[in-house]
Amino acid sequence: MPERLTDARVLALRRRSKYLLADLDTGESLLVHLGMSGRMLVHPLGSGAPPKVPGLFRHLHPAPSKHDHVTLDMEGGARIVFNDARRFGAMDLVATATAEAHPLLAGLGPEPLGNHFNESYLVARLHGRRMPVKAALMDQRVVAGLGNIYVCETLWRAGIAPARRVANISERRLAALVPAIREVLAEAIAAGGSSLRDYRQTSGELGYFQHAFSVYDRAGEPCRKPGCRGTIRRIVQSGRSSYYCPICQR
């Protein structure tokens, strides 16, 4: 892989579900999955430099840390580091023209912020399904990229219990999930994401959306919906924690 990346120019950066893609002028794309704890950190030129005092050694970049597995040195001097403590992340080089057919990307549903994800699509895609609505929204074949935190927050906003069967939810309420999903994601992006344990932005800074959680990780606390006197509960679904209000989520 190193020889195929050397001297390649990045033409575009994009995302598909939970995968990052860097399209190169070689006709290939670098496909990256961060796994459970991986992160891409960008170190600008001189970011590891001590104060400019005569006689001190000047480091152009911070020293490598324990879990830095891949380092990419850019033409302008910046360094991009893939750090992954748990080693669940992955990288691959794929032909750009056929990237969507890659086994990791094939079969993914539409992006939640894209035009193909709309009320009509979601209602039709979920029609008659007997599975819990939370499991349906986390199915990457239905909608790509939604994770546990944001599904919990979405269902709270929409007033739908996570264990409720899809077939028992009206089309009107299913359709209302689309704007709720977009609102939650837009707010999370603006806040830089959610940092509970490992997540960092490319600058190394934490995300701040965890400070705005309405339901996730708030078991035993009062529901924040105006007029609701419920208390947030936690249940386990498919090995993942679900948080909800038993009063305002039905």
Residue 215's nearest CA partner among 203, 223, 206 is 223
Query: Cα torsion at 207, 211, 216, 221 (round to 10°)?
Result: 160
In 3D space, the residue among 142, 144, 161 whose CA is nearest the CA of residue 152 turns out to be 161
Q: Tell me 113's DSSP state.
A: T
Report the relative pairing of strands 19-24 and 28-33 from DSSP bridges.
Answer: antiparallel
| Residue matched to tokens 């290939």 | 28
What integer is the mean pLDDT of 61-73? 78
Higher pLDDT, 187 or 165: 165
Question: Which tokens in the block code for residue 237?
Answer: 């679904």
Confidence label for 126 from pLDDT (cuts 50, 70 and 90) = very high
Comparing 2 with 248, which gets the higher pLDDT?
Answer: 248
- Give the model's pLDDT for residue 51: 43
> Tokens 């344990």 label which residue?
197
| Average pLDDT over the chain, rounded to an integer | 87
Predicted pLDDT at 209? 59
Q: What is the pLDDT of residue 208?
A: 45
Mean pLDDT of 114-134: 96
φ/ψ of 157, rounded to 5, equals: -65, -35
**pLDDT greater than 70 at residue 27:** yes
What is the reported pLDDT for 198?
A: 55
pLDDT surpasses 90 at 70:
no
Mean pLDDT of 113-137: 96
pLDDT tens sequence across 94-117: 999 999 999 999 999 999 999 999
Domain-wise residue ranges, the chain: 2-101, 119-244
How would DSSP label each residue in 122-148? HHHHHTT--SBHHHHHH-TTTSTT--H
- 2-101 topology per CATH: N-terminal domain of MutM-like DNA repair proteins (3.20.190)
pTM: 0.79
Determine contact, residues 177/169, Cβ cutoff 8 Å.
Answer: no
Please give the Cα distance from 203 to 55 (Å, whole number): 29
In whole angstroms, give the CA distance from residue 43 to residue 73.
10
Amino acid letter, residue 6: T
| Span 71-88, pLDDT tens digits | 888 888 888 888 887 778
For residue 242, is pLDDT > 60?
A: yes
Architecture label for domain 119-244: Orthogonal Bundle (1.10)
Which pLDDT score is estimated for 42?
Answer: 84
* Tokens found for residue 216: 């996730």
Angle, nearest 10°, between helix axes 177-190 and 148-158? Answer: 130
Has residue 64 got a pLDDT over 80?
Answer: no
Distance, CA of 208 to CA of 220 (rounded, Å): 22
